[in-house]
Amino acid sequence: MVALMIAGLFFGVSLTDTDIDVRAQYIQDQYLKSEEQVVMRDGVRLFTSIYTPKDQSKKHPILMVRTPYQVNPYGEAFKTRLGPSAAYEEAGYIFVFQDVRGRFMSEGSYVNMRPHLSQKVNQRDIDESTDTYDTISWLLEHVEGNNGRVGMWGISYPGFYSSAGMIDSHPALKAVSPQACIADWYWDDMHHHGALSLNLTFAFFSVFGVDRPELTTEWSPRFQFNTPDGYDFFLELGPLKNVNERHFNDDIEFWNQLMAHPNYDHFWQSRNIIPHLKNITTAVLVVGGWFDAEDLYGPLKTYASVEAKNPKADNRIIMGPWSHGGWHRMDGSELGDARFGEATSPDYQAIEFQWFQHYLQDGPASELPEAMMFETGSNRWREFDRWPPEGREQQAIYMHANGRIELAPPDGRQAAYSSYQSDPSKPVPYTKKITTMWEKTYMTEDQRFASQRPDVLVFESDVLTEDLTIAGPMMVDLWVSTSESDADWVVKLIDQYPDVIEGVPAESEDYIRGGMQQMVRGDIFRGRYRDSYSNPIPFKPGEVTRVKFELQDILHRFKKGHRVMVQIQSSWFPLFDRNPQRFVENINLATEQDFVSATHKVYHSADHASRIEIGVLRDSN
């Protein structure tokens, strides 16, 4: 969300200046541009920019993006890219871009993740579904040369508007692709298992959250950190209450709402689009990245919800080895410390184009499977009839004493727990990089910088004698205790590479990557929500307590000669806010005095066997 908004790169793999100039000239030569105020059922007018092919010898389909991030350039200037790739422009689509209600040049009031209205009491009741429906109806009537078919797509927040727009689908809406789509803002972007996404929410709302008193074509200025070091900036900031006192001055309405609603209450529940993904008659292609640091939850849950609620819908999913929107912003051959063997984005873009062509221009049917998923580790695409795939064997990897991982549970002959001291004044960094941004490569980053800290527990398996493929969601099941009354638990699943093989040149990449601890999946759980995300409860100091939560899906092959590693810690800063470790009813209102050091224990005894439940795929290749 933040990366796309700030970078302004919404479409296409990064191009050279020459490529951009050639594409921009082609668009100006082949397209006409118009700007319209499209009237909604309640009378509010939405600013809509329309690019129509000059060639009117045939009918053209409409491809639409609805966005809160502006449809610039306004006026006579042309966009330099219109579709997800240049192929769409050459195929002669009508491109439509719309400022959503209350943003930039559209009238009305803006509501973040506007709640969907399942029941419309009167004809003037609106939500993002009705605004989409009304826009499509207007386009079909007023845009000459259209073939009566409409497609939608969008990445991140525009992905949410794509999802909302396919509810109670307009009859002309034939193909929708929600990509990196926000689905439930408590889980996408804003929190992970109750922990606040500090770096993202602060940077995003310092710009996006500024009030728009009148129509405008301009963004608010970016926040100036006045330092390259985000870790130092947020640590010096102190408790969250200092944000308004030092920086926002109570001017950012959604930040204030965020602070007032730390729990998963009605405020957040109403902003969950997942339960409302019904009556979908359009074809759906959900797209996401395994290493999307912002919206991994949304694509996986959107696909599952559409599948469950719309059994007749043509619903498919593609997950590749990408960061947020990476399938249209980079070639997908690598990300941070991970290498994927080849450029993965161009092949995806060809598949996406064929998919839209089939539904909007009667192109040949694609051979796209139900689930096309990239298997990291082995670096290959795999096809499945469903996701998660059938045939998974449910197993568990158990934490043992002396930092070991085994498939068998611990017995009574070993130490009962491992412990560490967690100090909020010295939180564990989430990245080794010096940055104020939410570092998009942290999800593949070598974790040796963290494993060397005394406040990070490290467990590792023996060297694998055969490949191990894990697919689908995982469940963390920990037995823990704390000396205080609150705690966070960060669990990271890591692929530990072999040490350097004899004979490998010291200057080669293989040598440098020897022993690398590459994160495959990690997440944080705020312990106060172990019984309910709506009703937090404190820990009783010293009492052994169960903490259970989901790690989001993976498809990863741990190769023979590697090790499986798990790291456990209690801070991940400033990716997420610090838990003061002294229970406060509204954790966002904690004071300096509430932040205390605590001793945390993770148990690995016969009675309290901490583990991660996984789904193992057995195959012959």
Residues 6+ apart with CB under 8 A from 45: 37, 38, 39, 106, 107
Q: What is the pLDDT of residue 5?
A: 44
**287 lies in the same domain as 148:** yes
Q: What is the pLDDT of residue 348?
A: 96
Please indicate, yes or no, if residue 29 is contained in any of the structural domains: yes
Domain end point (choices 384, 406, 428): 384
CB 150 within 8 A of CB 170: yes
Domain end point (choices 341, 357, 384): 384
Statement: residue 141 has pLDDT above 70: yes
Closest CA to 373 of 362, 364, 386: 386
Q: Which range among 172-176, 500-504, 590-594 shows the weakest confidence by mean pLDDT?
A: 500-504
Q: Tens digit of pLDDT for each residue in 430-471? A: 999 999 988 889 999 999 999 999 999 999 999 999 999 999
Statement: residue 87 has pLDDT above 50: yes
Statement: residue 13 has pLDDT above 70: no
**498 lies in the same domain as 601:** yes
Please indicate, yes or no, if residue 249 is contained in any of the structural domains: no
Q: Tens digit of pLDDT for each residue in 98-118? A: 999 999 999 999 999 999 999
**89 lies in the same domain as 145:** yes
Average pLDDT over residues 169-192: 96
Statement: residue 502 has pLDDT above 80: no
Average pLDDT, the chain: 94
**444 lies in the same domain as 593:** yes
**177 lies in the same domain as 324:** yes
**41 lies in the same domain as 102:** yes
Helix (H) or strand (E) holding 567, with range, is strand 563-569
Average pLDDT over residues 466-494: 98
Statement: residue 17 has pLDDT above 80: no
Closest CA to 269 of 157, 208, 183, 192: 183
Q: Which range among 344-358, 407-421, 503-517, 597-611 shows the weakest confidence by mean pLDDT?
A: 503-517
Q: What is the pLDDT of residue 413?
A: 76
% of residues, the chain, pLDDT over 70: 97
β-bridge mates for residue 522, sequence order: 492
Provide the domain count of the chain.
2
Domain that includes residue 313, residue range: 2-185+271-384
**363 lies in the same domain as 430:** no
Please indicate, yes or no, if residue 321 is contained in any of the structural domains: yes
Tell me the helices (H) and strands (E) count for the chain, helix number first: 14, 25
The one-letter amino acid code at 70 reads Q
Q: Ramachandran region of residue 402, left (φ > 0), alpha (ψ -120 to 50) or beta? A: left
CA distance 570 to 419: 11
Q: What is the pLDDT of residue 508?
A: 77
Q: Give the three-state DSSP class for 190.
A: helix
Q: What is the pLDDT of residue 442?
A: 96
Please indicate, yes or no, if residue 231 is contained in any of the structural domains: no
Residue at token pair 């022993």: 515
Please indicate, yes or no, if residue 256 is contained in any of the structural domains: no
Please indicate, yes or no, if residue 210 is contained in any of the structural domains: no
Please indicate, yes or no, if residue 247 is contained in any of the structural domains: no
Q: Tens digit of pLDDT for each residue in 184-222? A: 999 988 999 999 999 999 999 999 999 999 999 999 999
Q: What is the pLDDT of residue 375?
A: 98
Q: What is the pLDDT of residue 414?
A: 77
Statement: residue 503 has pLDDT above 80: no
CA distance 418 to 405: 13
Q: Give the three-state DSSP class for 527.
A: helix
**344 lies in the same domain as 408:** no
Statement: residue 378 has pLDDT above 80: yes
The C-alpha R_g of the chain, in whole angstroms, comes to 25
Q: Give the three-state DSSP class for 373.
A: strand
- Categorize the per-residue pLDDT at 500 as very low, low, confident or very high, splitting at 50, 70 and 90: confident
Please indicate, yes or no, if residue 196 is contained in any of the structural domains: no
**563 lies in the same domain as 494:** yes
**444 lies in the same domain as 317:** no
% of residues, the chain, pLDDT over 90: 90
- Categorize the per-residue pLDDT at 4 as very low, low, confident or very high, splitting at 50, 70 and 90: very low
Statement: residue 609 has pLDDT above 60: yes
**Residue 417, domain CATH:** 2.60.120.260
401 phi and psi, to 5 degrees? -65, 160
- Categorize the per-residue pLDDT at 412 as very low, low, confident or very high, splitting at 50, 70 and 90: confident
**477 lies in the same domain as 414:** yes
Closest CA to 148 of 160, 157, 139: 139
**Residue 134, domain CATH:** 3.40.50.1820
Q: What is the pLDDT of residue 438?
A: 85
CB 536 within 8 A of CB 529: yes
CA end-to-end span of the chain: 37
> What 3 state SS string does 243-310 have?
HHHHHHCCCCHHHHHHHHCCCCCHHHHCCECHHHCCCCCCEEEEEEECCCCCCCHHHHHHHHHHHHHC
Domain end point (choices 384, 415, 435): 384
Q: Tens digit of pLDDT for each residue in 295-349? A: 999 999 999 999 999 999 999 999 999 999 999 999 999 999 999 999 999 999 9
Number of C-alpha atoms within 13 angstroms, CB side, residue 204? Answer: 21
Closest CA to 604 of 397, 361, 375, 414: 414
**360 lies in the same domain as 402:** no
Q: Which range among 3-12, 102-111, 331-340, 398-407 shows the weakest confidence by mean pLDDT?
A: 3-12
Tell me the H-state helices in 513-611. Answer: none
